Amino acid sequence: MIKGIYLLLFILPVQVFAQGVRVVNLQCEYKQNPQGVESSSPRLSWELQSEQHNALQTAYRILVADDPGRLKNNTGNVWDSKKINSPASLQVAYKGITLQSTKTYYWKVMVWDNHQQVSVWSGVANWQMGLLNKVDWSNAQWIAYDKLPDTAAIVPFYHGKGPKKLGMANDVLPLMRKTFSVGSQVKKATLYICGLGHFDLSLNGKKVGDHFLDPGWTKYDKQALYVPFDITDQLKAGKNTIGVMLGNGFYYIPRDKRYRKLTGAFGYPKMICRLVVEYKDGHIDNLLSDTSWKTSPGPITFTSIYGGEDYNANLKQTGWDTNDFNNENWRKAIIVDGPPLLNAQMADPLKVMQEFTPKSKTQLSSGAWIYDLGQNFSGIPQITVKGKKGDTVKIIPAELVNADGSANQKGSGGPHYYNYILKGDGAETWQPQFTYYGFRYLQVEGAVPQNEANAKQQPVIIGIKGLHTRNSAATVGDFTCSNDLFNKTFKLIDWAMKSNMASVFTDCPHREKLGWLEEAHLVGSSLHYNYDIVGLARKCINDMRIAQTEDGLIPEIAPEFVKFEEPFRDSPEWGSNAIILPWYVYQWYGDQEVLTENYDMMKRYLTYLDKKADDHLLYQGLGDWFDLGPKPPGVSQLTPKGITATALYYYDLDIAGKIATLLGKTQDAAAYKKLAMAVKQAYNKKFFNAETKQYGTGSQAANAMSVYAGLVEPQYKTAVVNNIVKDIRDRGNSLTAGDIGYRYLLRVLDDEGRSDVIFDMNSRADVPGYGYQLAHGATALTESWAALPAVSNNHFMLGHLMEWFYSGLAGIRPADDAIAFNKIEIRPEVVGDVTWAKANYQSPYGTISSSWKKEASKFELSVSIPANTTATICLPVSKTAGVTADGQNIKNRKDMKYIGYHDGKMLVKVGSGNYTFIAK
């Protein structure tokens, strides 16, 4: 009996813990254990997990210490928040003592919930501060192999090749090295480094990290980014050698005969670094970039972000980044100027994320070989060859092939190619380091695949791969359904998204690589369901703030390397990203700081638009770019000038009013509300036909944007929506809206319960659209609805349907007043021949899941709602259906609330937990 009591006492705490609330996924500034944090008040977030339904946080306590040992004793010598009665678990601002540059801080959190449960302390997380101001670089200097004369700088860039007087120009791609000594008992070693345009870092002969094209590209005359690396485990007691290889990127674009979209030069490649070595006894050593570093030309003889790369293996200096290398023939680095502002790279770095091997290979009549990798993606080739010293192998990447099977770069920018000159000492493996392209095919000249006839004794291709490179933002969503075309469309869009996540949201991974801004807010809503884009979105916002002109204009690209001629510089549909994206980031992630930091940018842009307006209407710009009209795609054809620009101007003002209210700027809020009303009146007076209930020409874009922006008076809304549906039906369920209008067309149809129209419009392959692209062989979303070969075949500007897959078919939606999905709607749309669909989305609060299936007399929906959130479940069943949740009648369950029946859906309010609803 006594043994039984002891056993019960032993088991009981385990049972209580198993049912209790837990704290997981600690993040600082959106990252787990980040380096380079520059905020004086970093924001801390965590997730709650609980087996109990309806779990809500009621309080928290945070401990921050400068030593993890103190946290073991539950001591926060840097900050102890004490118990704070608050449901906040996202973006909780640090409020402790002043934080110091380069220092690492450790933290943990515990929470209380509404079931009187108290969590155990979370695991310990940490963050490391960056270099907060110029003095923290400790007199590190920008160093280079050579200095570009100030008179030779080309800023802003030319569009195209520029005037002939520029002539031909190439630069030296240097290696930089430094040997130094460290003592034993190293506690932590952090290297803070920026190399422009890009750098590749090694320590004692081995690459540091797995990044590609560090740092992200910026407007270098205003700002550059540095990258922190923890190299503690790679350092050795005694001598060590740092090696840095520099590439051009957007910092210097060589004036070669190869393709280039832009011609420009901020300067020759350069670098700056500070190595901070902290010892266990507390003292700190620094290694700085200065003239004691040695430099030499490297084996890369040409690299261009647009044109490709050449590598001469005979120029490789073996062991150049190791201790034993003799650098007597190297020269001292020189001191040069650098950008005025250096900030930590907080967006996720680019990495090699996937490898592709050839599906087939074919010999061309020229003797070259073409490899089909089966997928159009952003990346670089990797080749392994064996041949004679001095032999040259040329690789030409391409999205498409010509009629004769050869590489076709007409729509992607050409010539872009890579030359590799062999050293001739056995199998040699090489891949480009400082450029990339969008491609599916690799054409190889000057080499022959192994086991093939080789009469000319050319180098033998032992292996060839495609390495997919992209921003390494984590995947946070997945979707699939019973409709195979939709699953293929999901992949089509997803590949364009992945291929255009670099250090900016690019339009395409080859021809331009520029940050065209409309995509970030129009397709961003689709993108954030799939990837954690908060870091990239915040960089985009920062790039806009830097690009904003003195008069308030937000240009169509950021960073603005080149000033395009109109209408490619001032389109409100593009510039409005300065208002819309910060608001969306707040809605998606709960980040109010992004609104505070960028409020001045928004205000200045709205002042600019007000001055540009003619009777409150805006007529400049591209309109509904690449819509489907009678002419080849380009500037809007079906929607009159003024409609898309002014509709977004009104949408901007409405958002600005909400932001001003949120930030306590009541006078601004009132002014924006007043101006918005004036814009609305002018818009309806100019564009609305009260007899036909149409806007402008009655195009899909014109009517849909008017509805979505809130410009339609309530008494006319139903009629305008009906006109949208009628236009689509009259066209045999085909679309006409383009880059700007299609997102709003889908949103309006989804919001108004017409997902049946969305299904009919997108479940066909005989007219331009997603199915048409797939039927014509596309493996990534193309620039034009008709998959035209003369334009990009890897473009994500038309990827709006991804949002509907999650929010419509699967039904995972934020409520209208939700912040970071703290209030959720699960509202699946059962349409067409779809018999089941399921999706998961890793929201800031945790995973939201929706999985449904339809049978002849039964509908089943399984959902997962994360702790600290609530949800409304909208069941698409008849009013008389009997509905159970986990086997119990929903009207009898005390842990949920039956709300009623509305618009063909039965509504149930639930808290966190897993539920399976069955309707018969």
pLDDT band of 164, cuts 50, 70, 90: confident
**Helices 666-687 & 643-662, crossing angle to 10 degrees?**
160
Inter-residue contact 561 to 513 (CB < 8 Å): no
Judge contact between 823 and 871, C-beta under 8 A. yes
Does the structure show a pLDDT above 70 at 17? no
Distance CA 507, CA 519 (A): 8
- Looking at the DSSP bridge assignments, the partners of residue 139 are none
Predicted confidence band at 13 (pLDDT cuts at 50, 70, 90)? very low
pLDDT of residue 5: 39
In tens, the pLDDT along 303-334 reads 999 999 999 999 999 999 999 999 999 999 99
Does residue 376 contact residue 439 with C-beta atoms inside 8 Å? yes
pLDDT at position 20 is 87
Token couple for 108: 């943990």
CA distance 354 to 286: 37
The answer on pLDDT for 816 being more than 80 is yes
* E strand intervals along 320-455: 331-332, 334-335, 342-344, 350-356, 360-363, 369-386, 392-398, 400-401, 407-408, 417-421, 428-430, 437-445, 448-449
182 CB neighbour count, 10 Å cutoff: 18
Count CB atoms within 10 A of the CB of residue 865.
28
> CA-CA distance, 20 to 57, in Å (whole number)?
12
Residue the block writes with tokens 């920062």: 542
Peptide bond into 732 cis (omega under 30): no
Average pLDDT over residues 442-454: 97
Residue 410's pLDDT is 96
Give bridge partners of residue 639 from the DSSP assignment.
Answer: none
pLDDT attached to residue 168: 85
Angle between helices 741-751 and 755-762 (to 10 degrees): 140
Asked if the model's pLDDT at residue 16 lies above 50, the reply is: no
- Residue 387 φ then ψ, to 5°: -170, -165
pLDDT at 862 over 50: yes
Beta carbons within 8 Å of 879's beta carbon, 6+ residues apart: 901, 906
- Given phi > 0 = left and psi -120 to 50 = alpha, else beta, which region is 593? alpha
> In this structure, what DSSP letter does residue 255 have?
B
Q: Count of alpha carbons within 13 Å of 19, Cβ hemisphere only? A: 10
pLDDT of residue 68: 95
The 3-state DSSP class for residue 276 equals strand
Q: Three-state SS for 919?
A: strand
Strand order of the β-sheet with 836-843 is 477-481, 836-843, 846-854, 859-865, 913-919, 883-885, 888-889
Residue pLDDT, tens place only, 48-58: 999 999 999 99
Using DSSP's 3-state secondary structure scheme, residue 277 falls into strand
Res 792 pLDDT > 60: yes
444 phi and psi angles, rounded to 5 deg:
-115, 125
The answer to whether the CB of 444 falls within 8 A of the CB of 369 is yes
Residue written as token pair 């209408």: 567
What number is the average pLDDT over the span 93-103?
Answer: 97
Q: Given this model, what pLDDT does residue 6 score? A: 39
689-712 pLDDT, tens digit each:
999 999 999 999 999 999 999 999
Look up tokens 């299936």; give the residue.
853
Asked if residue 15 has pLDDT above 70, the reply is: no
Q: Say whether pLDDT at 724 is over 60.
A: yes
Average pLDDT over residues 409-420: 97
Report the alpha-carbon distance of residue 579 to residue 582 in Å, rounded: 6
Whole-angstrom distance, CA of residue 544 vs CA of residue 547: 5
Please check whether residue 392 is in contact with residue 420, taking contact to mean a CB–CB distance below 8 angstroms.
yes
Instruction: Assess contact for 255 and 161: CB atoms under 8 A.
Output: yes
What sign for the dihedral angle of Cα 813, 818, 819, 825?
negative
**3-state per-residue secondary structure call for 710-727:** CCCCHHHHHHHHHHHHHH
pLDDT band at 19 (very low <50, low <70, confident <90, very high): low
Angle at CA of residue 458, ends 455 and 459, nearest 5°: 140
- Residue 306 makes CB contacts below 8 A (sequence gap 6+) with 253, 258, 259, 260, 261, 262, 413, 416, 435, 513
Asked if residue 729 has pLDDT above 80, the reply is yes
pLDDT for position 165: 86
pLDDT at 167: 82
Residue 732 CA to residue 736 CA, distance in Å, equals 11
Closest C-alpha to 663, from 604, 609, 586, 550: 586
Strand partners for 395: 418, 444
> For residues 844 and 27, what is the distance between their CA atoms, to the nearest angstrom?
10
Tell me whether residue 544 is exposed, middle or buried, using C-beta atoms within 10 angstroms of its C-beta: 0 to 12, 13 to 18, 19 or more: buried
Considering Cα of 588, then 590, then 595, then 597, what sign does the dihedral take? negative
Kindly state the helix (H) or strand (E) to which residue 743 belongs, with its residue range.
Answer: helix 741-751
DSSP 94: P
Question: CA 670 to CA 664: how far, in whole Å?
Answer: 11
Q: What proportion of the chain, given as a percentage, has pLDDT over 90?
A: 97
Q: What is the pLDDT of residues 526-561, one digit of tens each?
A: 999 999 999 999 999 999 999 999 999 999 999 999
Contact call for residues 450 and 464 (beta carbons, < 8 A)? no
Residue type, 469: T
CA distance 16 to 603: 53
Which residue intervals of 42-127 are DSSP H helices?
68-72
Give 80 or 6, the one with higher predicted confidence: 80
**Which tens digit of pLDDT belongs to each residue from 818-844?**
999 999 999 999 999 999 999 999 999
Distant-in-sequence, close-in-space partners of 878: CB < 8 Å, separation ≥ 6? none
C-beta atoms surrounding 77 within 10 Å: 14
Distance in angstroms (rounded) separating the CA atoms of residues 705 and 708: 5
Rounded to 10°, the helix 593-612/643-662 angle is 140
Give the contacts of 599 (CB within 8 A, at least 6 positions apart). Answer: 659, 660, 663, 665
* φ, ψ for residue 846, nearest 5 deg: 135, -175
Are the CB atoms for 499 and 509 separated by under 8 Å? yes
